[in-house]
């Protein structure tokens, strides 16, 4: 009887995680749809230099400062907030939240002031653009993009804290919907700019895109405040560094912050310094846009599932249920890889029609799409490893193993920078070769990092039995390779049969690219499904069993 009760509890927890994941997934789909609209508008109305400058201002300057806070504060905040709420009550938990957000606001103000007063130094620090080698427009406008875009940090950074507070109350939809609000703000500004100016370039694009970033950040914070309106009465700002919960938070966040700072240094070095060293217009945007396709897929399921897992994992650890946690980590990891590895193979095989479908419009040409497709294919190879990492990191965070994660991250971030430096600076690779070097450095380091995380996790959590894990990895690699090959062959056949139609397509390009994706994707997907059932029947059966059980419960509930 106790074993039956334990199985039932594990099943219920899994069902709750999956329900929460579905809610986050819906919000992320809205976010990615709006992101696609934003990117197509920028591609249609903005030239290469403007695309590079927006990527620099939004993704590198604002994104770097924002993600330093989000990726370090969130994992440390939620375990402390939930434990404080459980042990000392909601008012005590919100005193901690008020203290944290007050200190956070001071740090944001200092960061905004630093970038606002010294934007030229920020450009020199983050890129190789200079007056001697770069296009003069970069040197004229890049400091202004840095100065104005950074104003969005107030809403974005405070929004990362409210995001985790909403997750603590398991209000996942509004938390994730805040990211979509950022895109909505940029789209609204772009639409207004196109109506008012017609063509967006130079200083006109600067004002429109900067206004959109600030508007979007405000909308994100307002969306979250709607979800926290009942608890807002408990919020008390203050700089009480003696708060015991805040001190526990500092102990957790310090090693995480060190690791995140190094990871951001890696991203700046690989994706800004290295790529601007090449001094080719459009390369910076091609890398970021190519990465967006991979990131969109990664955030649809793996990231959504991992966000839903953290509060439940924290509860398991606090209750001493390590066996249950280890089992859930193992099973969920295998299922997520079973889904993501074949998808990654199909996306790699179909990178070019994907880039054409999403980006080839207006001022974004076929040659630009070739660069974007190269970056996308190389980044997407990392998808199954990133999906695994999303789950593994939540298990580490819930067990408060922050130092281990930091040390492992620093080691493999250093490896990726070394690969980029050797390829681009030492060997002098340019264009698509430089993009491939940066993206593959990310993929290789991520694969090795995940293998190391699993090895360390097995020391404190009963998970990933060695023989079964190796056999599963071999089988899923075979399934993915065969499916990707089938998709590539189908794509080549389609292009040979309809080459003339595709070459003449202008307004109908999206139709032909979509048709090519449909035909080749179905061929590769069919091969993946058949081989997955043959080679990974146990995991496929487990997923099917869960789905049938959910449908049965829904029918029972409606009767």
DSSP string, 38-65: HHHHHHHH--HHHHHHHIIIIIIIIHHH
Distance, in Å, from the CA atom of 139 to the CA atom of 121, rounded to the nearest integer, reads 11
User: Is residue 440 within a helix (H) or strand (E), and if so which, with residue range?
Assistant: helix 431-457
| Mean pLDDT value across residues 373-382 | 92
pLDDT at residue 187 is higher than 70: yes
pLDDT at 546: 53
Name the residue range of residue 241's domain.
Answer: 1-269
pLDDT band at 342 (very low <50, low <70, confident <90, very high): very high
Is residue 130 within 8 A of residue 124, CB to CB? The reply is: yes
pLDDT in tens, 307-334: 666 666 777 777 777 887 888 888 888 8
pLDDT at residue 533 is higher than 70: yes
Whether residue 354 lies inside any domain: the answer is: no
Whether residue 391 lies inside any domain: the answer is: no
Distance, in Å, from the CA atom of 134 to the CA atom of 279, rounded to the nearest integer, reads 7
Percent of the chain whose predicted confidence (pLDDT) is above 90:
22
pLDDT band at 419 (very low <50, low <70, confident <90, very high): very high
pLDDT at residue 539 is higher than 90: no
Convert 149-161 to b/e letters by CB count within 10 Å (16 or more is b).
bbbbbbbbbbbbb
Whether residue 252 lies inside any domain: the answer is: yes
pLDDT at residue 555 is higher than 60: no
pLDDT at 178: 84
Helix, strand, coil distribution of the chain in percent, nearest 5: 85, 0, 15
pLDDT at 310: 61
Look over the chain and give the mean of its residue pLDDT values, rounded to a whole number: 81
Question: What are the CA-CA distances from residue 462 to residues 188, 388, 398 (Å)?
Answer: 50, 17, 15
pLDDT at residue 293 is higher than 80: no
pLDDT at 385: 92
Alpha helices in 118-234 (DSSP H): 119-126, 136-149, 153-168, 172-197, 202-227
Q: What's the distance, CA 455 to chain centroid? A: 24
Whether residue 126 lies inside any domain: the answer is: yes
pLDDT band at 499 (very low <50, low <70, confident <90, very high): low
Question: What are the CA-CA distances from residue 56 to residues 37, 360, 545 (Å)?
Answer: 19, 21, 47
| Mean pLDDT value across residues 35-52 | 81
Distance, in Å, from the CA atom of 404 to the CA atom of 426, rounded to the nearest integer, reads 32
| Mean pLDDT value across residues 175-195 | 87
pLDDT at 16: 62
SS3 300: helix
**Across 35-39, 177-181, 190-194, 233-237, least confident range:** 35-39
Nearest to 103 by CA among 218, 240, 257: 240
pLDDT at 283: 82
Count of domains observed in the chain: 1
pLDDT at 559: 42
pLDDT at 418: 94
Whether residue 9 lies inside any domain: the answer is: yes
| Mean pLDDT value across residues 215-243 | 87
Nearest to 232 by CA among 434, 68, 52, 94: 94
pLDDT in tens, 9-37: 545 555 565 566 666 667 767 777 787 78
Q: What is the pTM of this model?
A: 0.69
Is residue 309 within 8 A of residue 394, CB to CB? The reply is: yes
pLDDT in tens, 72-98: 777 778 888 888 888 888 888 899 989
pLDDT at 287: 86
Is residue 51 within 8 A of residue 42, CB to CB? The reply is: yes
pLDDT at 6: 44
Whether residue 547 lies inside any domain: the answer is: no
Degrees, nearest 5: CA angle 258-64-79: 50
At 361, phi and psi to the nearest 5? -160, 145
Whether residue 331 lies inside any domain: the answer is: no
Q: Which tokens sit at 31? A: 């976010």
pLDDT at 303: 64
Whether residue 10 lies inside any domain: the answer is: yes
pLDDT at residue 535 is higher than 50: yes
pLDDT at 380: 93
pLDDT at residue 173 is higher than 50: yes
User: Is residue 89 within a helix (H) or strand (E), and if so which, with residue range?
Assistant: none
pLDDT band at 355 (very low <50, low <70, confident <90, very high): confident
| Mean pLDDT value across residues 196-216 | 83
pLDDT in tens, 106-130: 999 999 999 999 998 888 888 877 6
């Amino acid at each position: 009887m106790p074993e039956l009760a334990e199985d039932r509890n594990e099943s219920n927890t899994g069902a709750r995680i999956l329900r929460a994941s579905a809610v986050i997934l819906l919000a992320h789909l809205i976010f990615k749809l709006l992101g696609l609209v934003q990117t197509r508008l920028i591609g249609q109305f903005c030239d290469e230099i403007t695309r590079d400058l927006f990527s620099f201002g939004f993704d590198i300057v604002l994104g770097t400062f924002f993600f330093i806070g989000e990726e370090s504060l969130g994992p440390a905040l939620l375990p402390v907030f939930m434990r404080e709420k459980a042990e000392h009550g909601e008012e005590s938990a919100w005193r901690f939240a008020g203290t944290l957000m007050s200190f956070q606001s001071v740090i944001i103000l200092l960061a905004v002031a630093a970038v606002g007063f010294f934007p030229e130094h920020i450009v020199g620090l983050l890129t190789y653009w200079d007056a001697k080698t770069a296009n003069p427009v970069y040197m004229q406008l890049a400091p202004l993009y840095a100065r104005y875009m950074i104003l969005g940090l107030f809403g974005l950074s405070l929004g990362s804290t409210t995001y985790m507070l909403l997750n603590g109350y398991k209000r996942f939809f509004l938390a994730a919907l805040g990211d979509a609000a950022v895109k909505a703000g940029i789209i609204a500004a772009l639409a207004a700019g196109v109506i008012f100016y017609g063509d967006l370039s130079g200083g006109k694009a600067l004002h429109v895109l900067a206004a959109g970033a600030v508007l979007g950040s405000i909308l994100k914070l307002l969306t979250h405040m709607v979800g926290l309106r009942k608890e807002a009465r408990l919020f008390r700002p203050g700089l009480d560094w003696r708060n015991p919960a805040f001190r526990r938070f500092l102990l957790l966040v310090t090693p995480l912050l060190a690791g995140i700072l190094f990871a951001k240094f890696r991203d700046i070095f690989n994706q800004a310094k290295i790529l601007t060293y090449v001094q080719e217009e459009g390369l910076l945007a091609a890398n970021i846009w190519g990465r967006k396709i991979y990131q969109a897929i990664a955030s649809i399921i793996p990231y959504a599932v991992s966000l839903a897992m953290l509060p439940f994992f924290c509860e398991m650890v606090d209750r001493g249920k390590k066996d249950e946690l280890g089992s859930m980590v193992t099973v969920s990891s295998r299922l997520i890889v079973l889904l993501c590895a074949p998808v990654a193979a199909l996306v790699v095989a179909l990178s070019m029609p994907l880039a054409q479908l999403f980006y080839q419009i207006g001022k974004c040409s076929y040659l630009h799409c070739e660069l974007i497709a190269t970056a996308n294919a190389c980044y997407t190879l990392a998808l199954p490893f990133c999906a695994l990492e999303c789950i593994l990191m939540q298990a580490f965070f819930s067990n408060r193993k922050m130092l281990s994660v930091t040390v492992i991250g620093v080691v493999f971030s250093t490896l990726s920078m070394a690969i980029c430096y050797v390829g681009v600076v030492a060997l002098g690779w340019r264009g698509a070769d430089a993009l491939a070097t940066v993206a593959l450095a990310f993929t290789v380091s991520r694969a090795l990092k995940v293998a190391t995380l699993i090895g360390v996790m097995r020391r404190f959590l009963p998970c990933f039995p060695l023989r079964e894990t190796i056999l599963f990895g071999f089988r899923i690699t075979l399934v993915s390779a065969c499916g990707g090959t089938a998709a590539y062959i189908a794509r080549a056949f389609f292009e040979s049969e309809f080459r003339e139609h595709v070459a003449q397509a202008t307004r109908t390009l999206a139709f032909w690219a979509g048709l090519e994706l449909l035909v080749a994707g179905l061929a590769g997907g069919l091969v993946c499904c058949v081989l997955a059932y043959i080679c990974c029947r146990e995991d496929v059966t487990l997923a099917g069993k869960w789905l049938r059980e959910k449908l049965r419960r829904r029918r029972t509930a409606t009767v």
